[in-house]
Chain A
Amino acid sequence: MNRVLFLCLFVLFSQFMLAQSSEIPSATDCYFIKNGLVVIKPGQNPSKSSIVIRNGLITEVGANITPPYDAKIINVDSMYVYPGFIDPLSHTGLKEPEKEDKSKEDKPKSPGVATFTQAGITPQVLASQMINCKDKSINSMMESGFGISHTVPKGYILPGQGSIISLKESNSNENLILRKDISMVGELKTKRGVFPSTLIGAMSRLREINKNTDIYLKNIAAYKANPVGMERPAHVSEYEAFGGVTNKSKPLFFVADKPKEIHRAVTLQKDLGFDIILSDVKLITPLIDIIKPNTPILLSLKLPKEIKDEDKVDSKDSLDTKKKVQTEEYIRLTAKKKESYDLYLSQAKILAEKNILFSFSYMDISTSDILKSIRRLIAAGLPENNALEALTTSPAKILNISAIAGTIEKGKLGNLVITDKPLFDEKSKIKYVIVEGQVTELKKSDSSKTNKNDDKKVGDLSGTWRYEVEVEGGTQYGNMFFEKDGSSYTIGVESDETPSEVDQGYDISVDRSNISFKLDIENEGIKMTVKLDLNFTSNTNFEGTAEIEGMGSFKISGVRRLIPD
């Protein structure tokens, strides 16, 4: 009941926030994006043009075109217009499968005889069936400039198949799907406690699956041709699903971040003979020679922590800080670390120099870091032009959707990103995102997401907030009540599990857009302290962590309730 209520609230809230509301009928499906500095495709200079989008498609681009009579005009004079970004690998828009009660989990009799499902190997799982059009990640990727995501299930070894979705607002899950079940995702990540529990087990299992898929398909075909006297081959949905990889109709996006992992992925590729796209890569250039030519690479945007000068004076706990800073060993180790850091930062630059097709992946990065990371790559030598390619034309090529996306050309999807300054400028802010002709104007507070360094204020947060926290075994929901108290707040928290029991927050500290506080809760007789750390990305949203001593840290997020109960 509460969850339903929450979803409804979320819908209402989104509509309130976005410039366009589906409840008020729109007057037209035609837009005229007027007088922007348009970058038609990477490598071209911005030139003053206008764009007509009708029924979700670009119908005209040019300097001297006149607005159609039925168009809504959006004046973007002196703003920069880019093709909508394409995300070639993420988990955007997927409903997390409900985490089952651990005690109810299907467990094998002994660890060595786990079935595919028990071992977490699920190539038959389809992202297309897990899409939740109301998932917040769709909106937050869109607000970061993306119009299209290739979204894949989470899991182990072979988590399942991916689909390409449009990041537009819709009430239909199906309506978002641009390309259905087009890929497989693979990773040498294993479930603990069952075979295969290590990467060596996973590799041998993949070799077996590959071989048995062929055998399976052969048996099925033979049985179909002539079943007389033949043992009926049992149906195995895992082999059926993996057939798409062995017959090369579905590329395998293989997650492999560092040289050893990449080497393992390439070893499997060689052994098994199918095509892979190396995904979520952090460091590849030392082994670039072993990569099969024309293998696309998706770089992770999770970059090493920035090395700042003040890191050198790390005074905590040293008896003699000055002496420490000067030790020969410290200097030597710091230099070596810096060398490694520089190498990681230069990955995109080197791939660009070598003309290797690459883009980025967005599997576990917070959207606010995306442009920040790309700017760091540019500062480390990646040409802006290549960075834009990696956001637009390259992922289009990798996903085989160049015909409909990646550039601002007649006939393609009406996906645009519009910024107030050149995209990679430190101070640049996204003003509009257009996805299939749906225009979203980003409010100032939202666009500040793209640049966290901005000294932002989020205003008065008093009121009721709806939160959800992802804990072991599922998501918990509840309300938080903020009441302004001078420069700080009083905070009450009420969980849906125990309605009308309000716990008071204490140790509350407010720092710009961050509020942290503590909470004593009691769960089945056990007293625990929860430390909450909330970052208000706007005056209607927060993201953060809830840390429970001895249990770990959980993601928490919340939205402001805009209508009274």
Chain B
Amino acid sequence: MTDANVSNRLEEAFVRCRDLDVPLADRLQAFANEVRRLGPHFQAAVDALVSRLAQSSAGATAPQVGEPMPAFVLPDEQRRLVRLEDLLDEGPVALAFHRGHWCPYCRINIDALARVEKKVAPDRRHIAAIVPDRQKFAMWLKSDAKAPFPVLTDMDNGYAMTLGLAFYVGDGLKQMMVSSGWDPSVSQGTDNWMLPVPATFIVGTDGIVRARFVDPDYRVRMATEDMLAALRSAT
């Protein structure tokens, strides 16, 4: 099977897994299983990356519960500049770092977040996604999931890097991603081949982190139930 062929099948698998009526973790797992089945060579490189990240404790230095979330000014998909403090003026917020519009796990995750947002928005609790993708691609990710929340652009993973969440993809995986049509250098507008560890921070109106989820294994994301609970209990 050619790489292009694999990527078409993965796209079909993505749609199937996104639309499953099961919890987020199960949808992500279902897609991971498809990747394992369709591209075993890809899987080995991914496993190597995840274990490398786990060994170097990627994300370990990101803000802990009880610590302040550093301020940011990032453009949203409509070219508005969004500050963390503006978001917190509205109420507690969940900041969800994603890898990019090209990542099926992120697309499944954003789809799940869109459903969460509907439940918490009436309570003045919100979500904001952060991606290293430029505006056009951030907009695509948002419309793909019909997400009501902003998708902010973190150019060059600058903000993610200050939190210790950015890492280099590595030469081997880079080649495989390019040949499968997953080329973040186009959407990021840089050849850095850096990606953020997907992570979620629930931040209270005082700017203090109330809950966090950081896992170097990008196939695992914060459970929507946990996020809902943390957002609801945050003040």
- Do A and B truly interact? no
